Amino acid sequence: MSAYRTYIIVWIALLILTVLTWGISYINLGMGNVAVALLIASLKAALVALFFMHLRYENRLVWAFALVPLLFLALIIFGTLADTMSR
């Protein structure tokens, strides 16, 4: 029973956050738009990962499989960016 409830609550939160991020996009905050949009997206992603994908209840090995790729993602983005930005 509580599994269904958790999913519904997370779903509602995701919908609210979606409307929020869509709404904020019409307001001009300059660079703030990028930060806010990514923040909200990351919050939504975290909700999907933790609850829909059960990450919250998984062991450390699964967490490692989930998080380590993100480190390498950061590596390729910032490694490539380091060149672009210093040219």
Partner 1 sequence: MHDVTETKTHSSGQALETAKLGIWCFLATEVLLFGALFTAYTIFRVSDPQMFLTEHLKLNRIFGAVNTIVLICSSLSVALGIAAIRQGKQRMLRICLILTLVLAATFLGVKYAEYSEHIARGELPGTNNFFSLYYMMTGLHAIHVCGGMAALGTMLVMAYRGKFSAEYNTPVEITGLYWHFVDLVWIYLFPLLYLIG
Partner 2 sequence: MTDVTAHTATDDRGYLTEKGFWSWAATLDHKRIGVMYFYTTFLFFLLGGLLALVVRLELMTPGPSLISDHAFDVLYTMHGNMMIFLFIIPAIPSALGNFFIPMMVGARDVAFPRLNLAGYWIFVAGVIVVLASLVQPMDTGWTFYTPYSAKTGAAVTTISFGIFLVGMSSIVTGLNFIVTIHQLRAPGLTWFRLPLFIWAMYATSIIQVLATPVVGVTFLLLAAERLLGVGFFDPAKGGDPLLFQQFFWFYSHPVVYVMILPAMGIITEIIPVFSRKPIFGYKAIAYSSLSIAFIGFLVWGHHMFVSGMSNTASVIFSFLTFFVAVPTGIKVFNWIATLYRGSIFLDSPMLYALTFIFLFIIGGLTGPFLGALATNVPLHDTYFVVAHFHYTIMGGTVMGYFAGLHYWFPKMTGRMVNEKVAKLAWVFIFIGFNITFFTMFILGLMGMPRRYAEYLPQQQGLNIVATVGSWILAVGVLIMVGNFIRDMFHGAQATANPWHSKTLEWQTASPPATENFEEIPVVTEWPYSYGKKKE
Chain residues that interact with partner 2, rule: CB under 8 A: 61, 68-69, 72, 75-76, 79-80, 82-84, 86-87
The contact pattern for partner 1, residues 20-59, with x = CB under 8 A and - = no contact, is -xx--x-------xx--xx-xx--xx--xx--xx----x-
d(CA 28, CA 32): 8
Tokens 């909700």: give the residue: 47
Nearest alpha carbon to residue 4 among 47, 50, 52 = 52
Decide if residue 8 touches partner 1 (CB under 8 A). yes
Shortest distance, CB of residue 19 to partner 2, whole angstroms?
32
Assign 1 to helix, strand or coil. Answer: coil
